[in-house]
Structure 1
Amino acid sequence: MTSTSKRRRQRAQRIALHFVLTVSWMLLLGSEYWSIHEERATALRSAQAQSLNLANSLAQHASDTLSIADAVLSGLVSRVEHDQGSSAARSAMHEFLVREARRSDRLHGIFIYAADGSWVSSSLDSTPRTHNNADRAYFKYHRDHRDALSLVGPPVQSRSDGSWVLTLSRRLNAPGGEFAGVVLVTLQLKYFHSYYSTFEVGPHGTIGMTNDDGIVMVRRPDKQGVIGTSIAGTSIYVTMRARKHGTATYRSPIDGVERISSFAPARPYPLTVLTGVSVDDALANWREAARQRIVVAALGCTLLLGVGIWLDLQLRRMHRNEAKLSTEAWVDALTGIANRRAFDHRLSRALQDAVRLEAPLSVLMIDVDHFKLYNDTYGHVNGDACLRLIAGAIAGCSRRSEDLAARYGGEEFGMILPHTDAAGALRLADAVRNAVAELGLM
């Protein structure tokens, strides 16, 4: 194998090593990036699923709660309309309302209003006669509409105790169908807030309820001044109106927190329950895991770098050893010029080239006269020095790169002279003789 081909092979080995290390780095970093990305997506999907499940559950709870109130309302309307004009029934009504209100901690109160808005009866300990609810939105609605359906009104502050309540009301009709007043059941919004507080939605999570107009009915955590405000026109409201049921990521118009929010309708009532988990909370565990993966990846890359440096050093050392062995195989250790193996190898190639090109080829065989006597007289150390001087003189006469000067064995040397005829070889032989003579060794 020529030195050029060896260098090419060694270079290819180092390139292959660097390529393998680079690919390993890329695979390690790529796999970690993909894993981190997938784990993030999984964390978000999990948060979305949990949020939607909670929204569905709470929407059903809200529907069940209003159904209880609606059942009370329906029975009360039938009783009031049936017993109109009965003084005995009116005197027993208060006790009946008190009993009904106490049957469920979800109810705030039950009220009956006359056609002019005055209080007829209630579940309160005493019914104030000076209060009038003709200004309430639900009262105006029933006065102006003949339908017998229940109306879920926006949150209002109760005139009985000032607390926020959700209203569910129905129209009362006189025997002739005329408007006779309103029956009202109020639900405590603090009940919903307390119930929602039992669910874990993270440090920045929310649970809330709005009506179809976007009015905030309940919100946990409670924020001063939020109840009764509108989110109509916000991105989450637009999404809710378009999809009715689902999940979306949005930035809250109330506190500016980005949340994964799920919404579900509390049908058949015009209410929607929203549950929100902040994106930061949803990704908290993922971030910690991602930091750990990044540390592991960094350690892995460092390890790969260390292994790569070690392998590169080993490869360089191997190449140096190969070069040393190659030199020892083709170079005479004593004189530093080509040895017999190199001479024979070059001669074989030179003969083939000479035949192929029909070019002259000369070979000089040089024997150092009286060397044995010199060696015996001056000793082996001086004899070795003598051979080195002679080898240098012979090599100095070889001026072309294609010529080769070699130690053939003992005190014998040889020269291969491609493209050199006999006359040229004689001139070079004479030059070698003169160069050796000038050394003055004898």
Structure 2
Amino acid sequence: MTTPHAIVAAGVVIALSMVVICAVVLYQSRLDAMARATETSRNLALLAERDIERNFELYALSLQAVVDGVNDPEVMNAPRLRGFALFDRAATATYLGSMLVLDAESNIVIDSARDVPRKANFSDRQYFKVHRDNPNVGLYVGDPYASRLRNGAPSIPLSRRLSRPDGSFAGVVLIALQLEYFHKLFAALSLGPHGSVALIARDGTMVMRQPYDVKVIGRNIRNASTFKQFVSAPEGSFSDTSTLDGIERLYYFKNLPNLPLIIMVAEAHADIYSAWEHRALIIASLMAALALGFIGLSFAFGAQLRRRMRAESELAMLARTDGLTGLNNRRTLGEILDQEWRRAKRTRSVLSLLFVDIDRFKMYNDTYGHQAGDDALAAVAKCIGDNIRRPTDSAARYGGEEFVVVLPDTSPEGAASIAEKIRAAISNLGIEHRASEYGRVTASIGAAAWTPEQDVDVSAVIRAADQALYDAKATGRNRVAQSKLIPAY
């Protein structure tokens, strides 16, 4: 049979299982949010990479065309056509500075913006030193600098070496790309309020970073834990805290295969999980309310079942007891007698019975009324119950003012002793009974004991106890009489 505790326990287990399942689903959705953010960062990095590589390829071809033209005597010997031959439309693209040809001393000898070259020397620039000292550099992408020809506009140089026929250094072909190009490109990538996009040289120099901070451009971050991750693999993703602003982000990076640059796209954890946290809060709150409601219903159902079981128990008790006295009723007495008789036969033990009858009870009812009679019956029943102490002893209301006491494993002497205690206790109640010769309520008790033998019925013991009761009444009432008809062993 299902118990209230089992129902409550089952309800708690089911509620906890629901919470655990919800937690697993929410955790999986959190992982999915991170996976989506990684994929989004990768796609954005790919878009930026393609744009940068396409433009850099065009600029590299333009620089190579200038190198080829400078080494062509026919081009160099036609001053009016030289500009058209050397500089294509790429030289006039947005965010590009003038394309310059520098001689071996780093002076401007050809200027795409003017027929008469401007006066400037760039021998201190890093790109000039690199090409001068290294013949095989090819396309060189330099560190950011403030342009001297464009009022300090931050730019990065793209340059190629010019060599004489004997391979000696002849100068540099240069084009400057304004950092505003990267600023506009990265600003168009949506990464949330705390996201970041950066282009970093492989030596750790910060070329551009969004959100833009002029103090960050040109800074070297080679010692940062994030940069060490950037150079550890061609591409990848990881979570770390930025050394620049202290924000924890999911980083996706890729080393551009054809350029000495690293593209980095980073989305802040706070932005990645913002929608998830809002959704998780709603779902978790609903699930918690549902789980608590389920547990509450389990407790309520358990309490209802407990009340029902208690009511059924009380009904069962009422079916087995006398409503007035609280003692066993006659039906229950029959079950007890049958059980104890069988046990006595099996164990060869003595079974004693007491018949208790209130003296002149009809006259008491006639004198004091039925309510007083009921009170007297209840008081007598309590006296009987108080004087049988063993768990195996039992008492029952036989009918009217008669009671039966069953005393297993009790000798005739022991039964007589208990009977005397009951008689004295009833007499000592002192309940007034003017119609009695004793002036108070008294009881007569008949006792019988039998050691069950083969083919002997329990009804013989009952008849013997009843006969002893008759003898007690016949000899003056308010006394105990023992049966003389049944042998005791």
Structure 1 equivalent of residue 205 of structure 2 = 215
Structure 2 equivalent of residue 364 of structure 1 = 354
Counterpart amino acid of residue 145 in structure 1 = N
Write the distance in 2 (CA, Å) between the matches of 1:276 and 1:142. Answer: 34
Deviation sequence 1:339-396 (CA, Å, 0-9, x none): 1122112212211222232211111234456544554565433443443344344444
Write the distance in 2 (CA, Å) between the matches of 1:148 and 1:400. Answer: 111
Matched, 1:153 2:142: yes
Gap change, CA 1:403 and 1:79, over 3 Å in 2 = same
Matched, 1:140 2:150: no
Q: Secondary structure at the match of 1:415?
A: strand
Please report how far the alpha carbon of residue 178 of structure 1 lies from its aligned counterpart in structure 2 after TM superposition: 2.7
Write the distance in 2 (CA, Å) between the matches of 1:16 and 1:282. Answer: 43
Matched, 1:108 2:97: yes
Structure 2 equivalent of residue 253 of structure 1 = 243
Please report how far the alpha carbon of residue 115 of structure 1 lies from its aligned counterpart in structure 2 after TM superposition: 1.5
Counterpart amino acid of residue 380 in structure 1 = H
Counterpart amino acid of residue 261 in structure 2 = L
Unpaired runs of 5+ residues, structure 1, are: 1-8
Structure 2 equivalent of residue 52 of structure 1 = 42
Any residues of structure 2 matched to 1:196-211 within 5 Å, and which? 196-211=186-201
Tell which deviates more after alignment, 115-124 or 349-358.
Answer: 349-358
Gap change, CA 1:384 and 1:126, over 3 Å in 2 = same
Q: Which has the higher helix share?
A: 1
2:300 aligns with one of 299, 310, 332: 310
Identity of aligned residues (%): 32
Structure 2 equivalent of residue 177 of structure 1 = 167
Unpaired runs of 5+ residues, structure 2, are: 437-489
Write the distance in 2 (CA, Å) between the matches of 1:391 and 1:132. Answer: 127
Tell which deviates more after alignment, 254-263 or 298-307.
Answer: 298-307
Matched, 1:263 2:253: yes
Any residues of structure 2 matched to 1:363-442 within 5 Å, and which? 363-368=353-358, 370-372=360-362, 374-376=364-366, 379-429=369-419, 432-433=422-423, 439=431, 441=433, 442=436
Work out whether residues 75 and 85 of structure 2, in 8 Å CA contact, stay in contact via their aligned partners in 1. Answer: no
Counterpart amino acid of residue 336 in structure 2 = R
Counterpart amino acid of residue 182 in structure 2 = F
Please report how far the alpha carbon of residue 247 of structure 1 lies from its aligned counterpart in structure 2 after TM superposition: 1.1
Please report how far the alpha carbon of residue 336 of structure 1 lies from its aligned counterpart in structure 2 after TM superposition: 2.2
Write the distance in 1 (CA, Å) between the matches of 2:334 and 2:281. Answer: 66
Structure 2 equivalent of residue 166 of structure 1 = 156
Write the distance in 2 (CA, Å) between the matches of 1:289 and 1:396. Answer: 68
Structure 1 equivalent of residue 226 of structure 2 = 236
Q: Secondary structure at the match of 1:121?
A: strand
- Greater Cα radius of gyration, structure 1 or 2: 2
Please report how far the alpha carbon of residue 85 of structure 1 lies from its aligned counterpart in structure 2 after TM superposition: 8.4
Please report how far the alpha carbon of residue 167 of structure 1 lies from its aligned counterpart in structure 2 after TM superposition: 1.5
Work out whether residues 101 and 110 of structure 1, in 8 Å CA contact, stay in contact via their aligned partners in 2. Answer: no
Gap change, CA 1:397 and 1:203, over 3 Å in 2 = closer
Write the distance in 2 (CA, Å) between the matches of 1:389 and 1:173. Answer: 131
- Structure 1 vs Structure 2 CA RMSD: 2.5
Q: TM-score, normalised by structure 1?
A: 0.89
Q: Secondary structure at the match of 1:359?
A: coil
Tell which deviates more after alignment, 13-22 or 161-170.
Answer: 13-22
Write the distance in 1 (CA, Å) between the matches of 2:262 and 2:425. Answer: 111
Deviation sequence 1:229-273 (CA, Å, 0-9, x none): 111121121111111211121222222221111111222111111
Gap change, CA 1:339 and 1:108, over 3 Å in 2 = same
Counterpart amino acid of residue 51 in structure 1 = S
Write the distance in 2 (CA, Å) between the matches of 1:404 and 1:212. Answer: 99
Gap change, CA 1:402 and 1:56, over 3 Å in 2 = same
Write the distance in 2 (CA, Å) between the matches of 1:216 and 1:319. Answer: 78
Tell which deviates more after alignment, 140-149 or 210-219.
Answer: 140-149
Counterpart amino acid of residue 262 in structure 2 = T
Counterpart amino acid of residue 299 in structure 2 = I
Counterpart amino acid of residue 73 in structure 1 = L
Write the distance in 1 (CA, Å) between the matches of 2:258 and 2:17. Answer: 55
Write the distance in 2 (CA, Å) between the matches of 1:395 and 1:34. Answer: 62
Counterpart amino acid of residue 117 in structure 1 = S
Work out whether residues 202 and 277 of structure 1, in 8 Å CA contact, stay in contact via their aligned partners in 2. Answer: yes
Tell which deviates more after alignment, 289-298 or 73-82.
Answer: 289-298
Please report how far the alpha carbon of residue 69 of structure 1 lies from its aligned counterpart in structure 2 after TM superposition: 0.4
Write the distance in 2 (CA, Å) between the matches of 1:257 and 1:395. Answer: 82
Matched, 1:339 2:344: no
Work out whether residues 119 and 127 of structure 1, in 8 Å CA contact, stay in contact via their aligned partners in 2. Answer: no
Structure 1 equivalent of residue 61 of structure 2 = 71
Write the distance in 2 (CA, Å) between the matches of 1:174 and 1:168. Answer: 20
Gap change, CA 1:320 and 1:396, over 3 Å in 2 = same
Matched, 1:192 2:182: yes
Deviation sequence 1:136-181 (CA, Å, 0-9, x none): 2221222222227222222222221021222221111223333221
Q: TM-score, normalised by structure 2?
A: 0.81
Tell which deviates more after alignment, 328-337 or 429-438.
Answer: 429-438
Write the distance in 1 (CA, Å) between the matches of 2:125 and 2:417. Answer: 131
Work out whether residues 113 and 181 of structure 1, in 8 Å CA contact, stay in contact via their aligned partners in 2. Answer: yes
Write the distance in 2 (CA, Å) between the matches of 1:167 and 1:84. Answer: 28
Write the distance in 1 (CA, Å) between the matches of 2:210 and 2:147. Answer: 20
